[in-house]
Amino acid sequence: MSNRLVFDAAERVLWTGAQASLGVLVTDLAGLPMWWAAPVALALATGKSWVAGRLGRLGTASTLPASKDPATPSTTYGP
């Protein structure tokens, strides 16, 4: 497995875990039924993607730097 793929998978796992945890925390603190955790996490994921699309690598929702993002084309040398 390439390093870029590992970084991409790790980024997705970490963001998903953070969004799910925050969804549960927000619904618990607000006293809402637990089924609200999924829509809250979805809203967080949408917001994160929007921000990352403007601050991260342009054209993607990745927060990885271009050198680690699998969407970045590889540089080739020679003819």
Domain boundaries, the chain: 3-49
Please check whether residue 66 is in contact with residue 72, taking contact to mean a CB–CB distance below 8 angstroms: yes
Residue 78's pLDDT band (boundaries 50, 70, 90)?
Answer: low
Please check whether residue 66 is in contact with residue 78, taking contact to mean a CB–CB distance below 8 angstroms: no
pLDDT value of position 5? 83
Q: Which residue has the higher pLDDT, 65 or 32?
A: 32
Torsion of the alpha carbons at 40, 45, 50 and 55, rounded to the nearest 10: 130
52-58 average pLDDT score: 78
Instruction: Tell me the one-letter amino acid at 18.
Output: A
- Is residue 52 over pLDDT 80? yes
Measured N-to-C along each axis, helices 37-55 and 3-30 cross at an angle, to the nearest 10 degrees, of: 130
Residue 45's pLDDT band (boundaries 50, 70, 90)?
Answer: very high
pTM comes to 0.74
pLDDT value of position 30? 96
